Structure 1
Amino acid sequence: MRNVSGLGLSGAVAFMALLAASGPALSQQAPMLDELVSSGALPPLEERLPANPLVIEPVESIGTYGGTWRSALRGGLDNAWIARTVAYDGLVRYDREWKEIIPNLAESWEVSADSRTYTFKLRDGLKWNNGTPFTSEDIAFAVELFSEPTYGGGTFIKNPQNPVSVEVVDDTTFSLVFGNPNGVIMDELASVNGLTLVSLNKAYCSQFYPAYNENAGAEAQAAGFETWEAWMEDRCGWATETIRWGNPELPFMNAWMVEQPLTGDATRATFVRNPYYWKVDTEGNQLPYIDRLDMRVSDSLEEITLMALNGEIDFQDRHIATVVNQPLFFDGQEQGDYRLGANVPSNMNTLVLQFNLNHVDEKRRELFQNKDFRIGISHLLDREEIIDVVFTGQGEPFQAAPRPESPFYDEEMAKQYTEYDPDAAAAAFEAAGLVRNGDYYTFADGTPLNVTIDLISSFRSEWVDMMELMQLQLEAGGINIELNNIDRTLYYDKRLVGDYDAQIWQGDGGLDVIQEPRYYMPSGAESVWAFRWQAWYNGSDPEIAEEPADWAKEQMDLYTQLRGEGDPAVRDDLMKQILAIAKENFPVIGVSLPGNGYYIAKNNMRNIAEPMLHAYLFPTPAPYDPFQWYFD
């Protein structure tokens, strides 16, 4: 087996030296814990920390304890902000540059030569926030539970093409054993998706599971739930699901633990420091520095924006750091006593237009699968007008392609068909078999072509402005467009039915190209443009799965090879081949490359990095270690 602990030899030596240097100084804790320790309600610090706590280098300086970090959630379902601030503590994690996978709960790991067996060594003495040991059995329990066909979501644990099992060696050593080679699992574990594996305390959650409690079904009904699965979800909802933040009894491994839970009618959710948190700074002070997190829960963006302007938010970017708000926040810095920092987005596009290549209507399916039709649509978009009007000139015309900062960047792919050219559009529509009858194009048989585009305005406020401009541009070029602003639940439900013309979303996959190829190939459920092809590939929803076009099947074969490849250079080459096929077949349409984003931070909040790379799989700001932020 080869060791890939993420440190390298010199890094491992430096890390151990740092531990040795800080070891004798492990005596400092937050003042709010002193009375609990002196009264005997809480063990002393040396009994709460593992034998080798993870030592964290502060961004600027050693911090001071205390204070409450104020931010806001948009409604009771806004779980992503919690995942990005509280919950990023998997087995491994990304470094602050998003270049390397480094130790976290696991201090080291080894990978078999065939990339099927990954053996992890946990830190000795890790404890849940209730003081009970965190062990290999908790990992094995999570895999066992999520392997249940009736429970849990679509994680790597429930991949029919590559099933996984756990071999427990001892309390701190276990192996993930895959049926086939898995060359991308470490990135999965280092991303926000890695939370799933470390989110379930076996001692607590097993009481809701029939495999450990034969009365779980009856007890679930007695508690008001129809099934044990519903009871389990209510008490031990997995990973980033909202309910996980609604049960203060559920043990945590994070820097802060639930104090006031997030529920459907909550007006705020609060978190308090975990006295058993297993990280320290370079002087041996137990982290986190900040005592509490207080998140206002509001459906009103106006209220959250006003809170930030009034200096009532200490750090936030989610929801409020929009292009429209930027001048407002810039002008209000002095009065609100805050500053604006730079976010470099991983998204490669402000909006991706996805026509449904698997439409249940045969005539529309044939049209939408025609590359010439998509080329025509792209040439009708005046991207410069959209950038000037909606984004105040920030950005540039761009297709769904890796960002310029990515090693996969291909200028030709990024810029193809981005010219506003009505004549080229007309030629493309003619090649696609459309006929211009009066103001609008029709099918060849004279049937009207009315295209409905679904959007969710509540997710991105600028999408409405973008789509209204795009509607005018497309209709001027002869394509009759109807905008359908719908609820997010319905937005997702339509994918299974297949009776939708097009949907839009943001341009994921600009930097995390291998991990997020949804627009380059039909890789998963977010590949809305080919939902039934991805179902065929992933073995999901067999009742609607359809065999893909040959070019998409070629991509799938390449990606299957990529996922089983242990050599990063070979994986990169396979991804380049997938991108070349995407470039040739042009499955989706992009609008513009996003300009840099920003965050809002109070002037006395320290150790915040600038700029930050901003992504979901790299769940900003979590990889920049908010537990080492402090108030000066």
Structure 2
Amino acid sequence: MVLRRARLSACLALLATTATAVAACGNSSSPTSQAGASLTFTRLGINTAGFGPSNQSTGNDAVVNSLLFSNLVKVAPDEKSIIPDLAQTWEQSPDAKEFTFHLRQGVTWSDGQPFTADDVVFTVTQAAQLGSTAYVGYQPTQWRQAVGATEAKGTKNPVSGVTALDDHTVKMTLAAPNAEFIRNLTDAVYSIVPKHLLQDATAENVRTVEFSKSKPVGTGPYVLEKAVPDQYLQFKANPKYFGGAPKIATLFFKLNVKPESVAAQLQSGELGMVLNAAANDAPALSAVKGLTTKFVVSPAAQFLQFRTDHPQAKDVRLRQGIYYAIDRRAMLKNLFGGNGEVRWVLPGFDQDDAALDRYDYNPDKAKQLLAASGVDLGQPFKISYAQGVDPAWDQMMPAIQKYLKDVGLNAVLEPLDSAAWSAANASKDAKYPMTVNAGGSMGLSPDRSSGYFNCKAPLSSFYANCQMDDLYAQARGTTDASTRADRYKQVAQILNRDVPMVALWQTTTYNAWTGKLGGSFQVFANDRDSAFNVNGWTLAG
């Protein structure tokens, strides 16, 4: 086993930034090269064991799925400009209820079958029919806003609001206006999937059919060539990609890379690029010859998430007290070199509203609120977090624990593996009163945080506030900018007051790559979108 790991490491090092074929790497447990350049890269975090929208749960999944699949639209590096993908052009009605997409012609799936409007209609319809249990993480909520989507759940019935006008035109009619609809369709959970391979899938098996586990078929720039569980995914360029064949012939996406090993792997050349690396590696990596490093302001946030249905976290005064107990500015400075922006409501909202409490560090006020909550502060207050999901969490959690102990709360850390942590967050049985979490794109728009809340079927924090849900809906349901701003302002004030989540800070990602990587390569603010222009990446010899 030691020899196999060493051999794999050596092979990946050779293949990180070169096209050289290495005969010694030709066995089944090691990556194989092909003619043309190859790049080995990773993004820190975890991957779901599967492919496609049903297996879209993390930022890493988004990167992988964007290599394999295409959406109707995608976003430019500025994270604002919507650009064509499978849809070359589109129109939106003035009331933001009707959307017509004009699709590219001549596009084929990677198995050679033609792509048509029927595949788009099928993708939307299946998302409505299968329901939430078919998806491991992110939900395709935009698709389910189509007229008839609710009635189609659990059936084989069509969704009346989605129709193919011809082989290359799709019209979608929503049950309610949604001014955010087009922008939200850039997320990986809205990848278009092939009808001819998934039409017989059910809610029970869609995540585990051959397509989703080992043989994904897409219209994206790359095709999966090999998957070695827990080690790497190997992709080869799709020569028939409608955007033009990628210039880098082979990509190796390394899995389960430990944060503490990143610097050494970049220095040795075993990795040619890392997204979302630990900020603490900056001093060492910035001095490495031939390596480019960059901090990028991210739309992501680090936040504490309460289970408001747990007896220890039910009282708002305890939640507010915890906010005051943590010196977020000191943590950000001491642990992450000040790379980030302290927040007092989730990113995306106007932080300058004078009505918002900034929850500046105040241990005395924290003690008063904790005492007033009536919670037995001597009982263990268990804080769950997942190891290996976010490189910051192992550093953050001991500091947070100390702050809480200093104000009299018996904080106990409960590190879990990623599967157990995800299950605990989704479980209706609130085992832990608080966890740490991170939002990958909330800073892009106030509406992005709406996915964490549902008053009729509470999830995540299990905070239920129908007034707030209605305000989110009113905001996305109007194209009037001033009305939208007012509704989002009201949402922000509710979140700031009720504290279902403690917004710690908006993050700055640290990224590093070989100086040989160029062309269209660019780290997006939402770093999981960085592969949107992968077909234009180049790698100098």
Contact 1:290 1:627 in 2 (8 A): yes
RMSD value, Cα: 3.3
Match of 1:554 in 2: 467
Match of 2:304 in 1: 353
Q: In 2, distance between residues paired with 1:269 and 1:476? A: 45
Match of 2:93 in 1: 112
Q: In 2, distance between residues paired with 1:473 and 1:396? A: 20
1:280-299 → structure 2 map (5 Å cutoff): 286-298=244-256
Match of 1:573 among 486, 489, 508: 486
1:305-384 → structure 2 map (5 Å cutoff): 305-318=263-276, 321-331=277-287, 333-334=288-289, 337-347=290-300, 349=301, 351-359=302-310, 361=311, 364=312, 368-384=313-329
Tell me the TM-score normalised to structure 2 length: 0.79
Match of 2:60 in 1: 81
Asked whether 1:193 is paired with 2:189, we answer yes
> How many aligned positions are there?
479
Q: In 2, distance between residues paired with 1:172 and 1:424? A: 61
Contact 2:38 2:248 in 1 (8 A): yes
Q: In 2, distance between residues paired with 1:110 and 1:296? A: 40
Match of 1:432 in 2: 373
Match of 2:40 among 70, 85, 90: 70
Match of 1:203 in 2: 196
Contact 2:383 2:412 in 1 (8 A): yes
Match of 1:604 in 2: 516
Runs of 5+ unmatched residues, structure 1: 1-31, 33-64, 210-226, 238-242, 280-285, 435-441, 518-522, 528-533
1:102-181 → structure 2 map (5 Å cutoff): 102-149=83-130, 152-153=134-135, 154-156=139-141, 157-158=143-144, 163=149, 165-181=161-177
Match of 1:416 in 2: 358
Distance 1:116-1:229 versus aligned 2 partners, 3 A rule: same
Asked whether 1:620 is paired with 2:533, we answer no
State the Cα distance separating 1:344 from its structure 2 match: 1.7
Contact 2:297 2:340 in 1 (8 A): no
Distance 1:399-1:413 versus aligned 2 partners, 3 A rule: farther
Q: In 1, distance between residues paired with 2:441 and 2:61? A: 22
Match of 2:234 among 265, 270, 281: 270
Aligned-residue sequence identity (percent) comes to: 22
Bigger Rg, which one: 1
Distance 1:375-1:540 versus aligned 2 partners, 3 A rule: closer
Q: In 2, distance between residues paired with 1:132 and 1:382? A: 57
Name the aligned partner's letter for residue 346 of structure 1.
Answer: P
State the Cα distance separating 1:627 from its structure 2 match: 1.2
Q: In 1, distance between residues paired with 2:259 and 2:116? A: 42
Q: In 2, distance between residues paired with 1:611 and 1:267? A: 24
Name the aligned partner's letter for residue 374 of structure 1.
Answer: R
Contact 1:390 1:465 in 2 (8 A): yes
1:20-31 → structure 2 map (5 Å cutoff): none
State the Cα distance separating 1:232 from its structure 2 match: 7.0
Q: In 1, distance between residues paired with 2:509 and 2:331? A: 18
Cα offsets for 1:170-206 (capped at 9, x unmatched): 10012123333333221221223321xx12x223333
Contact 1:399 1:413 in 2 (8 A): no
Where 1:386 maps in the other structure, the secondary structure is: helix
Distance 1:77-1:396 versus aligned 2 partners, 3 A rule: closer
Match of 1:98 in 2: 79
State the Cα distance separating 1:508 from its structure 2 match: 4.7
State the Cα distance separating 1:67 from its structure 2 match: 0.9
Distance 1:189-1:612 versus aligned 2 partners, 3 A rule: closer
Distance 1:547-1:585 versus aligned 2 partners, 3 A rule: closer
Runs of 5+ unmatched residues, structure 2: 1-18, 20-34, 52-58, 150-158
Match of 2:205 in 1: 230
Distance 1:412-1:140 versus aligned 2 partners, 3 A rule: same
Q: Which moved more, 1:67-76 or 1:104-113?
A: 67-76
Q: Which moved more, 1:459-468 or 1:564-573?
A: 564-573
Q: In 2, distance between residues paired with 1:396 and 1:98? A: 19
Match of 2:156 in 1: none
Match of 1:629 among 525, 537, 541: 537
1:42-61 → structure 2 map (5 Å cutoff): none
Contact 1:398 1:418 in 2 (8 A): no
Q: In 2, distance between residues paired with 1:354 and 1:560? A: 23
Cα offsets for 1:17-51 (capped at 9, x unmatched): xxxxxxxxxxxxxxx9xxxxxxxxxxxxxxxxxxx
State the Cα distance separating 1:559 from its structure 2 match: 1.4
Cα offsets for 1:416-442 (capped at 9, x unmatched): 1122x22222332344346xxxxxxx3
Tell me the TM-score normalised to structure 1 length: 0.68
Q: In 1, distance between residues paired with 2:389 and 2:416? A: 11
Name the aligned partner's letter for residue 491 of structure 2.
Answer: I
Contact 2:324 2:359 in 1 (8 A): yes
Asked whether 1:502 is paired with 2:455, we answer no
1:395-544 → structure 2 map (5 Å cutoff): 395=340, 397-402=342-347, 408-410=350-352, 412=354, 416-419=358-361, 421-433=362-374, 442=376, 448-494=378-424, 495-508=427-440, 510-517=442-449, 523-524=450-451, 526=452, 534=454, 536-537=455-456, 539=457
Where 2:185 maps in the other structure, the secondary structure is: helix
Cα offsets for 1:52-82 (capped at 9, x unmatched): xxxxxxxxxxxxx941121147776477436
Q: In 1, distance between residues paired with 2:110 and 2:537? A: 20
Contact 1:167 1:176 in 2 (8 A): yes
